Chain A
Amino acid sequence: MKEKKLSLKNPSFQAILTSLICIILGLLIGYIVLLLINPAGAGEAIKTIILNFLTRSSSMARAKALGNTLAKTAPLLMCALSICFCYKVGLFNIGAAGQYEAGACMGLYAALAWHMPWFICLLVAGAAGAIVGAISGALKAYRNVNEVISGIMLNWIMLYLTNMILSTKAVKDPTSPYTIKLATGNKGALIPSAGLNALFANNKTVTLAIPLAILFAVLIWMILAKTKFGYELKATGFNKEASKYAGMKEKKNIIVTLAIGGALAGIGAAFLFLTGYQEWSTTQTSVPGMGFNGIAATFLGGLHPIGTIFASFFIQSITDGGALINKSVYPSQISDLISSIIIYLCGFVLFFKFAINNWVSKRDKGGANANAVADKNDQDKKEGGDK
């Protein structure tokens, strides 16, 4: 009993608990929608969405499906890290989608038009994303433009620009709206798998991108939690004026933060398009969802880079699971529905935590100190929550 009391007050346990509440409520609402559409197969469908690759019949098929999910988790994780990193510095990087587009654009262009090897393409993609991020940052630092608004505008500008650049002769397949397949255009631009695909029934899309993305997550966590640089950035985000007074270059910090965020998202795009998983469609008219799903993974991961790894995998897994359900009865968008409900519920996380704290202190001390404990935990959270 004493153990339990302790753990409920522990902020990281609370973060996990609130994320689980969001997931369970999201799945519950999804299940209700399935029941409303057709009660007969609803249980089976929700099971498929949750279990995803585990529902495949043979172990080979399971390994292959898991590989596919992981291959798409890597770019999602990078976008989530981009948003997570900026959020820790007090910036809402909704422009991750645009930075992702820039990364896709220049990564593919470097691969197909300049015939560069994969690691150069990765760097080019990262640089392109960083430039777009830095534009948002500079607008914020020098012209006081809200990064959310400039991010949204840049998302659309980059979408059209990418469509335009990737429609040029050197990179576009003349017979389809897609860019040339890397396997035929430039094999050297495919991220090597380094034997990883052997673990996943020779799934060719399983590449070094997956361990690299996880490495980035650890790196971001280290920067934020353990370095002076990370501390300065967080301080700038917490109070711009105070950090300026303390001798930090607040303008530079804002730009650097968004540039790093942009680089992460840009590399994320390269992690998808340089695996040969899919090609860029030059006729697409909406901003790719990867950047927005990254927001889901960030908040579901409790705004912690390591938590984001698991959250990204979960979001990608239910998305892939949604594609496996009986499509003649249920629409596959049901998993988009579930993940968007989960994002919506993440907005209530502060309230959930407050409720838990209230409940714990009421149980412990008859409610006398309820607010004191809640306030203290609130403060802990505001200080960053990273340990």
Chain B
Amino acid sequence: MVLLLQYTIIFASVLCLVALGGCFSEHSGVINLGLEGIMVMGALGGAVTMFLLPAGTSKFVIVLATTLFAVLVGMLYSVLLGVACINFKADQTLIGTAMNLLATAAATVFVRAMNTSINPDNVSSAIQYIKPKKAFLKYIGNFEFNWFMVMALVLLIVSYFVLYKTKFGLRLMACGENPQAADSVGINVYTMRWAGVLISGFLGGLGGIVYITAGVSEWKFEMGVAGFGFLALAVMIFGQWRPTRIALAALLFGLFRALSNVYTGIGFLAAMNIPSTVYNMMPYIISIIVLAFTSKNSRAPKAEGIPYDKGMR
């Protein structure tokens, strides 16, 4: 039971962070289907940092540096989305898909090249971080507490505050609802959309490193992040683009993900003998059903997905 709680909370943290990233980007008017790719890149940044930090680095420095580089690489990668979709008005679905494919390929190539340059016989695409990972953990009884859980909670509160209580957040949302109107009152739509995309890079990158350190101590980059970016997208939609609901949706979907991992250890669930694929499928099925009933009057930003052109009416 403790294990279930622990997995639920850590998976919910990941989903919440990444979904909030998508939420910022979409509120500014840019659909970010590349979240999966941004997560991979953030994970790469963090994992390489942990791998390269010399042994004996203090825990605080490990946590700080890993987080910082994950976030930084995530933001850098999101620039690809910004340049193509804001400045060059490219198709956002196409670019997002390209970014997902590119991230997994680039990360695998990078890690393999790094591994072979250190040891010519090592052609694996995995990075190990058994020791540095411990810096993030604290045991409370059997419960494995992770500092990332706190970060996710803090960022959730900050996101809510920024979106609804600051001038910046309200302007950002205006750009996703009616960019022409926003422009007419002197808001620079391009700047606001860039801000939305970069924030999604920040949160997506952080989500990536949280995900790969959640259960294991080594990560094979060939696998990408196993669809968590898309699951986060489902969380965002289920949460109707609102931070508080996103948090609840993340908890629910996190629970399903955790169940698929640990259900064999829980008496009555193991007795029901439902295959883990069912738990894996549930979040997506729930999302589709919810979409079917809510999309007629969806809360999705009205102008999302449409490139902004100053010259257009």
Contact residues of A with B, CB < 8 Å?
A: 33, 36-37, 92, 94, 139, 143-146, 148-150, 152-157, 160-161, 163-164, 285-287, 289, 292, 295-296, 299, 327-331, 333-334, 336-337, 339-341, 343-344, 346-348, 350-351
Contact = CB atoms under 8 A, between A and B. Distances in A.
Given A153-B288, A343-B98, A336 B281 contact: no
B79 to A, nearest CB: 12
Given A161-B281, A163-B277, A331-B112, A343 B94 contact: yes
A286 B223 contact: yes
Contact of B97 (A144, A295, A331, A337): A295
B284 interface: yes
Given A150-B291, A157-B284, A348 B84 contact: yes
Interface residues of B, number: 53
25 contacts: A94-B97, A139-B291, A143-B295, A143-B296, A145-B288, A146-B295, A150-B291, A152-B233, A153-B287, A160-B280, A164-B278, A287-B227, A292-B101, A299-B94, A328-B120, A333-B112, A334-B109, A336-B108, A337-B106, A340-B102, A343-B98, A344-B99, A347-B91, A348-B88, A350-B89
Nearest to A163: B277
B174 interface: no
Contacts of A350: 88-90
A154 B284 CA distance: 7
Given A149-B237, A331-B112, A348-B88, A156 B99 contact: no
A163 B116 CA distance: 34
Given A153-B234, A153-B288, A156-B281, A148 B101 contact: no
B93 interface: yes
A171 to B, nearest CB: 15
Given A160-B277, A344-B102, A154 B109 contact: no
Given A328-B123, A337-B105, A344-B102, A157 B285 contact: yes
A154 B285 CA distance: 8
**Secondary structure type dominating chain B contacts:** helix
A94 B34 CA distance: 13
Interface in B94-149: 94-95, 97-102, 104-106, 108-109, 112-113, 116, 120, 123, 125
Given A145-B292, A149-B291, A286 B226 contact: yes
Contacts of A348: 84, 88, 90
A333 B224 CA distance: 13
Among B105, B223, B292, B298, chain A packs the most CB atoms within 10 A around the CB of B105
B113 A333 contact: no
B219 interface: no
Contact of A148 (B33, B95, B284, B296): B33
A346 B94 contact: yes
A344 B109 contact: no
A339 B99 CA distance: 11
A172 B4 CA distance: 31
Interface hub of A145, A154, A347 (most chain B Cβ within 10 A): A347
A326 to B, nearest CB: 11
The 8 closest A-B pairs by CB, nearest first: A347-B90, A336-B105, A340-B102, A340-B101, A331-B112, A344-B98, A343-B98, A337-B105
A149 B291 CA distance: 9
B51 interface: no
A295 B94 contact: yes
Contacts of A146: 295
A189 to B, nearest CB: 25
B265 interface: no
A343 B34 CA distance: 13
A286 B224 contact: yes
Nearest to B281: A160
B230 interface: yes
B3 interface: no
Contact of A154 (B123, B277, B288): B288
B80 interface: yes
Nearest to B80: A344
Contact of B109 (A145, A148, A152, A333): A333
B284 to A, nearest CB: 4
B290 to A, nearest CB: 10
A163 B281 CA distance: 11
Given A152-B230, A163-B277, A351-B88, A336 B116 contact: no
Given A286-B226, A347-B84, A331 B125 contact: yes
A352 to B, nearest CB: 10
A113 to B, nearest CB: 18
A292 B123 contact: no
Nearest to A150: B288
Contacts of A149: 233, 237, 291
B275 interface: yes
B109 A337 contact: yes
Contacts of B298: 144
Given A92-B93, A331-B113, A333-B105, A286 B291 contact: no
A329 B115 CA distance: 11
A148 to B, nearest CB: 5
Contacts of A33: 109
Nearest to A295: B97
A109 B46 CA distance: 43
Interface in B73-95: 80, 84-85, 88-91, 93-95
B291 A331 contact: no
Given A143-B293, A292-B100, 6 more contacts: A148-B93, A160-B277, A333-B109, A336-B105, A336-B108, A343-B98
